[in-house]
Structure 1
């Protein structure tokens, strides 16, 4: 039977790691509060050392090892944030660390893990494949496996975020937490529900990596065949056994959000709060903005933004998706007669509407266009959704057959 994590476990973890981890800011957002009607306060864990919460649990786990196990070294599997946490925690403790990461892990996270002193092995398509390989190496090399989430000491370390939330915002009504394997929400839920009587804990997963809600509904852990989401930090097929035991008792609800909603939240955080948050860290705010769970006007909600380690190549794509959701980036296709001035006439309509053209792709060889015509794709900057809709209507009113592209 799985032992239930306790507040005492979290407090003990806090004593071990407090000299190393940062007490991250909790800041009220007037912008998101006005937009949602709730009192929204952001827990900015993306400002933690290594750029994510994972150092808390990794450090607590390593600090509990005896000298013999420390000499043997540690090993783990991670898509990136836990990798960096283990590497830095192990280096600070003078412990050798090996990190197995999926082959397609973000390059920025791979490089950062190596900088923190970890030996990186790239293996498998996703976290689960990397974990299986790491388990084999742990047995062969007699290393301690530091699980990313299915470990009581790791869960307790992550729970120290909950201690900070209660201290900084004792009036909190709802804490919203991303779920990958469940270690984070298990720790935070333990810390806040054992100190506050009426607090709710809401978990959030990406639609393409959701297993927690169905697991809670079934009463047993549900494992997905595959995952598909831009939120790579929570792209796990299943939640852990130990987190699941805590979640059944202390998590009120699990919501899901789409990649579009995640992209929008990430983009708004950049623009309004100047905070860079990765997809996995943005899902909590995405759930609030998308009203993925019910809340009341004036309710004090704390979304935990738990990571900021996004690959810059991916950031460009995600921000563009966010701008599409805001109606500030529009990509359209139309067909023009292949004659002088046709393109200029189209451009004039767009310019007269107050929109700005980013790029034009002119293709005379497209099979979709007649021999005497050319297909044109345009990337356009617009003010908002209403402006974009007005532009499309104006173009169609001028006789252009316009297709809006995703």
Structure 2
């Protein structure tokens, strides 16, 4: 093997440049296109390019790092085989790489992993072991197998060879388009952005590298703000490919030197980016795969200046049934739809007046149920063509005519649950508290969740809707007298599910609560 210089002999960027140039990823990986997004470019007023890592054999960039790491194993290590833990793209990358090199590979996946992902790993030659309800348990078991069976653990991101393999993405981009000014990179554990940032800064340091994270999974931003790696208390699960609580140690070392900026985006903005990719390329990205483009759009729309910019489409292993959620939310993410709660006087003809004030705009949703002789509350979805400016004009026009208006476009409870539950005021006042829960989605999961919830507190409200994701989302109300709240809080802690109180949600107070 070619002898490499050490960290102390050259700077970190050039160290990784060497390792990337000597990577052997193309035994299995392919050079992917850098496509121009013409429709989006026209909208943003700059040339937007998309690096199509969805076109890899496993539909993800993860194959590059996995193969580069496994290909460097010694003969003795190859005899023992490899092991890793993953519920997503890294699992497929390891399985395919090991199969190509004739190695045995065990992939530990949580028991909650969707069957489509388990089958994909098996088809690629990996031996799947299902263990635990979450990734942390699967990872711990994989580490245990590494010790007891002597297998080499293949880390998903916190490894020099993995980082160098991911750096070949930047190597190709530089050869494909040399005058790109900014590159937007999705961030989970940090392997991809570390590889890309190090390569560009060694060769073209003037190119800005911008990391993109979901607002609810921003582990690199948190680490950069703190000056050290931190562990997030919990992470959002919509973009599950980047749902990482702590940035990798080696990726953080690289990122803190070479990443020029960070931007966070909402789930709705990610959905809008999925739609943008489809409209320009007819490719369907997974949420984590569209993350970088969502960040590019937000950055260029608020603070960015540049003529040629690029984003990494990191993967396309999407659960088909989750596209229903993407379709529902992308219009909100593009500011092409707004959700309003409008209080109107309860009298004949008032709904006609409401529609007249909207001036023939398209209504995407209109929900109403009689609840009072004095006032009614309408839950309305409205199609927009002029973004926030147009929405402000609509609200002003309604308010000038005596309507009370509240914008619920950013209220997660409204978008995820209440829009499907409008008209549910209880017939009497309740000492009710509202909570949202996340639980692993697998056959029988809802039944298990309800069984677990059995307690001395009455469930007064319940809403669940399957979104085809790895985790289910439930909205539940409980009758909890103030004197019982300490005990109820202890019950929630012992329950073990990720939860958040939603009692103060404006949508809940308007449509589901009767306490005013």
TM-score by length of 2: 0.67
Specify which of 67, 71, 74 is matched with residue 63 of structure 1.
Answer: 71
Q: Measured at CA, do residues 346 and 99 of structure 1 come closer, stay the same or move farther in structure 2, by a change above 3 Å?
A: farther
Cα distance in 1 for partners of 2:126, 2:291 equals 28
2:18 maps to 1:8: yes
Structure 2 unpaired stretches of 5+ = 1-5, 410-516
SS in 1 for 2:228: coil
1:176 match:
184
Cα distance in 2 for partners of 1:374, 1:197 equals 60
2:198 maps to 1:196: no
Q: Any idea what the Cα deviations from partners look like across 1:122-179, whole Å, max 9, x if unmatched? A: 4455544432222122212221100000111111111110110110011122221111
**How far is the alpha carbon of 1:78 from its aligned partner?**
1.8
Structure 1 unpaired stretches of 5+ = none
Q: Return 210-219 or 21-30, whichever deviates more.
A: 210-219
Specify which of 109, 119, 133 is matched with residue 111 of structure 1.
Answer: 119
- 1:5-404 equivalences in 2 (<5 Å): 5-13=15-23, 16-124=24-132, 126-291=134-299, 294-298=303-307, 300-329=308-337, 353=360, 355=362, 369-370=371-372, 385=387
Q: Measured at CA, do residues 310 and 221 of structure 1 come closer, stay the same or move farther in structure 2, by a change above 3 Å?
A: same
SS in 1 for 2:280: helix
Contact 2:346/2:372 (8 A) holds in 1: no
Cα distance in 1 for partners of 2:276, 2:328 equals 12
Cα distance in 1 for partners of 2:406, 2:225 equals 42
Q: Return 80-89 or 221-230, whichever deviates more.
A: 221-230
**How far is the alpha carbon of 1:378 from its aligned partner?**
6.2
Cα distance in 2 for partners of 1:109, 1:384 equals 40
**How far is the alpha carbon of 1:83 from its aligned partner?**
0.9
Cα distance in 2 for partners of 1:249, 1:373 equals 59
Cα distance in 1 for partners of 2:350, 2:93 equals 54
Contact 1:229/1:259 (8 A) holds in 2: no
Contact 1:55/1:86 (8 A) holds in 2: yes
Cα distance in 1 for partners of 2:357, 2:30 equals 50
SS in 2 for 1:203: strand
Cα distance in 2 for partners of 1:243, 1:325 equals 30
TM-score by length of 1: 0.83
**How far is the alpha carbon of 1:370 from its aligned partner?**
3.2
**How far is the alpha carbon of 1:400 from its aligned partner?**
7.5
Name which one, 1 or 2, has greater alpha-carbon Rg. Answer: 2
Q: Measured at CA, do residues 214 and 348 of structure 1 come closer, stay the same or move farther in structure 2, by a change above 3 Å?
A: closer
